Structure 1
Amino acid sequence: MNNAAPKAERSRGAFLLDSTSAGVGARGFDALRDVWETQIGDVFQLPSFSPATIGDLRVKGRAAKVRDVAIADVRSVSALAGTPGDDHDAVVMHVVRRGRWTLDDPPDPGRHTVSAGQFRLRHFVRPYAFETTPHTTTKILALPAARLSPLLGDRIITGPADSAEVRLLVAHTNMVHENIADLGPAGVHAAHSALIELAKAVVQGQFDDAEPRLAPALAQAAKDLADSHLADPELSPAMLASQLNVSLRTLQRAFAASGESVAAYIRERRLEEARLALSAPSGRRLTVSELAAHWHFADSSHFIRAFKKHYGRTPADYAASTSPAES
């Protein structure tokens, strides 16, 4: 467990929690309650869990607060069930990557399920019951109703978790988790502004690609997308721009803001994967020609030149340096 911000700093807070170890049980809930109340409870109250959940709470997660926005990433081994806290006038978004998150939508009748690969966003003004299946992975955002309800109204926004707007919002929340401990007042303000603008983009189904505050989220979303398609021969800056619903120029401008280029990022990540492959035991190691083809370099010569320029030695020299010495 890690408290990333001091108690006196009320504009931000963060923690990590892992109660997946055998035998943790109710002690895991006690730890979660204590750190939640300390770090983000003034923005988003801890849900009231069912007795069965408390007795067998096996979750791994992280949460962060940026002013009046709370973000929680929850990977649950056990099933979860309960209701949120009483003070629940917030716009809540669930992005489910694995498993299912089922919730009531008062005053609407019936139960509604967010399945893996989907998201759901709506304004809740009263507690609602929820439950999950075991092994569910979910990102939950609690956003200020005053900033979003004028756009949202009574609508429920649903859709695929890989839509361009959701990709950008998720990428930004991940950057918040990674950097919140180092954010000063200006950083907190910038992170919060981007969170609100990206949440608005989800509601509207489009974002302002000329908004400079969103450039870091756009670049990170493109990197995340590229990382998941490194072996795809169709991977290119144009493909990433198309998937993220922006122009190629807009994507290039977002990368340029941090001194990078889209093509260089793709090439360097492929080189890194090739380097890791060269460290494999010799019996399972691909040849230089095979690596060049697998990572979509024009030919072996182009791959060797790029590898040497980046790492200061040829692939063969690198492979030799990682091989165990013969006795």
Structure 2
Amino acid sequence: MGFTVYDTADLPPEHRFEWWRETVSQGAGPTSITSDHPAGFNGSMGVLSLGIAQIATMSFPTMRSERTPRLIRRSDPETYELTLVLDGSMGVSQARREALLVPGHFNLWSSSRPYSSLGTGGPGAEPSRAVVLHLPRALVPLPEAKVDRLLARALPSATGVGAVFARHLGSVVEEAATFTEGDGQRLGVLTWDLATAFLAHHLDASDRLPPHTRHQLLLTRLDLFIDANLADPYLSPPVIAARHHISVRLLHRLFAGRRETVAESIRRRRLERCSADLVNPVFSALPVHAVARRWGFTDAAGFSRAFRTAYGVTPREHRLAPETARACLA
């Protein structure tokens, strides 16, 4: 599977803006969109369906969008749209509130309430860019009256739950072409859980989240921590548990549903990094043992045995095999 990408550059200039308006309205409900420069409008979007969730990427020049009461009466998909601004700025208005969003801000809006926005490109007339997650409102396991308090607010993504959620969306977009149908379904559930946890965090309503959602958010944090600390030779279950203020027993229980233990997960990820570095021309002059040490292996012989068990060849054979090298860099 992968993104279905639409680009106005594939259309005659005179049809681009009208096509954009119709495409946006199909996804978010009838929307009035205007632009100071509709002729030759340049916009693109990518759409990825993940079962319970749908992610869209958007790139567009300065434009105004509005959902009026009349348009809502015409059709309402009854969704929340959770938008992460990547480039440019966006002024939004809904539920008698206004906010100015800059890169790194999330914004939540409801298709069932009047809404308006003005997206402005970055310096040098660069287009605005955003990632949008479509959430069927009826499936959000939080009180609607409380969730609506977040409408038209700038919700940051620099730290904490927001950072975890933003990185997840970025990773899904980046790796979309590699997903199988099963991957998409599983990632849809994970994306949904993280979105719910993000909203609950800003509502101080984490205690209302289903247990599996809280556990999934914690697992995501653990994965990010492990990936960021693979070079530390002392990375271990007790260290990971202590840094996240949980018991080692709970850590192992969280990993119980996976095919590998915590230690196996650390070793696999380290081996994957070493495998990639060994065939990367940037590290061609670095001895094998130095590559291993870069990713937390302090015992050269132990690393060689683990690598051969995982890949069927020694690290040196892997480095010298042109076909293997090309496959690992692809």
**TM-score normalised to structure 1 length:** 0.67
Contact 2:9–2:42 (Cα < 8 Å) also in 1: no
Whichever residue aligns with residue 128 of structure 1, its letter is S
What does residue 117 of structure 1 align with?
104
What does residue 12 of structure 1 align with?
none
Contact 2:8–2:20 (Cα < 8 Å) also in 1: no
Distance, in Å, in 1 between the alignment partners of 2:180 and 2:22 is 20
Q: Classify 1:130/1:319 alpha carbon distance in 2 versus 1 (closer, same or farther; 3 Å).
A: same
Residue 164 of structure 1: how far off its partner (Å): 2.5
Q: Classify 1:217/1:53 alpha carbon distance in 2 versus 1 (closer, same or farther; 3 Å).
A: farther
Aligned-partner SS, 1:128:
strand
Residue 126 of structure 1: how far off its partner (Å): 0.7
Aligned-partner SS, 2:114:
coil
Residue 296 of structure 1: how far off its partner (Å): 1.6
Distance, in Å, in 1 between the alignment partners of 2:108 and 2:243 is 22
Residue 121 of structure 1: how far off its partner (Å): 3.4
Q: Aligned ranges for residues 277-316 of structure 1 at < 5 Å?
A: 277-281=277-281, 284-316=284-316
Q: Classify 1:310/1:80 alpha carbon distance in 2 versus 1 (closer, same or farther; 3 Å).
A: farther
Structure 2 residue 46 is matched with structure 1 residue 61: yes
Q: Classify 1:241/1:129 alpha carbon distance in 2 versus 1 (closer, same or farther; 3 Å).
A: farther
| Bigger relative contact order (CA 8 A; separation at least 6) | 2
Unmatched tracts of structure 2, length 5 or more? 325-330
Q: Aligned ranges for residues 3-152 of structure 1 at < 5 Å?
A: 16-19=4-7, 41=27, 44-45=28-29, 47-51=31-35, 52=37, 55-64=40-49, 71-76=54-59, 78-85=60-67, 86-87=71-72, 91-96=80-85, 98-106=86-94, 108=96, 112-121=99-108, 125-133=113-121, 134=126, 136-144=128-136, 147=140, 148-152=143-147
Distance, in Å, in 1 between the alignment partners of 2:285 and 2:191 is 46
When the two chains are superposed, the root-mean-square deviation of aligned CA atoms in Å is 4.7
Distance, in Å, in 2 between the alignment partners of 1:211 and 1:123 is 26
Identity of aligned residues (%): 22
Aligned-partner SS, 2:116:
coil
Distance, in Å, in 1 between the alignment partners of 2:244 and 2:8 is 35
**TM-score normalised to structure 2 length:** 0.66
Aligned-partner SS, 1:55:
coil
Distance, in Å, in 2 between the alignment partners of 1:223 and 1:57 is 38
Distance, in Å, in 2 between the alignment partners of 1:246 and 1:84 is 46
Contact 2:106–2:156 (Cα < 8 Å) also in 1: yes
Flag the structure with higher helix content: 2
Single out whichever of 269-278 and 216-225 deviates more from structure 2: 216-225
* Number of residue-to-residue matches in the alignment: 301
Q: Classify 1:144/1:193 alpha carbon distance in 2 versus 1 (closer, same or farther; 3 Å).
A: same
